[in-house]
Amino acid sequence: MELIQLAVPVLLKGLGMTAVLTVVSVLIGFNLGLGLALMRLSSNRLLAGFAKYYSNVFRGTPLLVQIFLFYYGLGQLSLIKDNPALWWVVSDGARCAVMALALNTAAYTSEILRGGLMSVPVGLVEAAQACGMSRMLRFRRIEFPLAIRQALPAYGNELILVVKGTSLSSTITVLEITGYAKRLMSQTFAIFEIFAIAGVLYLVINLLLIAIIRSTERVLMRHELLSRDIRSAPNPEGSATVL
- Domain interval for residue 146: 2-229
Q: What is the mean pLDDT of residues 219-235?
A: 61
In this prediction, residue 242 has a pLDDT band, given cuts at 50, 70 and 90, of: very low
DSSP characters over 119-136: TS-HHHHHHHHHTT--HH
pLDDT score of 42 more than 60 = yes
pTM for this one? 0.86
Instruction: Quote the number of domains for the chain.
Output: 1
What per-residue confidence (pLDDT) applies to 236? 57
Task: Give the integer Cα–Cα distance in Å for 6 and 2.
Answer: 6
Examine residue 240 and state whether it is found in any structural domain, yes or no.
no
Measured distance between the N- and C-terminal CA atoms of the chain, rounded to whole angstroms: 61
More confident residue, 184 or 2: 184
**pLDDT confidence tier of residue 230, bands split at 50, 70 and 90:** low
Q: What is the pLDDT of residues 90-106, one digit of tens each?
A: 888 999 999 999 999 99
CATH of the domain at 208: 1.10.3720.10
- For 73, phi then psi, to 5°, come to -85, -45
Burial class of 6 by CB neighbour count within 10 A (0 to 12, 13 to 18, 19+): middle
CA of residue 61 relative to chain centroid, distance: 17
- 161's enclosing H/E stretch is helix 144-165
Domain presence at residue 242: no
Residue type, 109: T
* pLDDT the model gives residue 89: 84
110 inside domain: yes
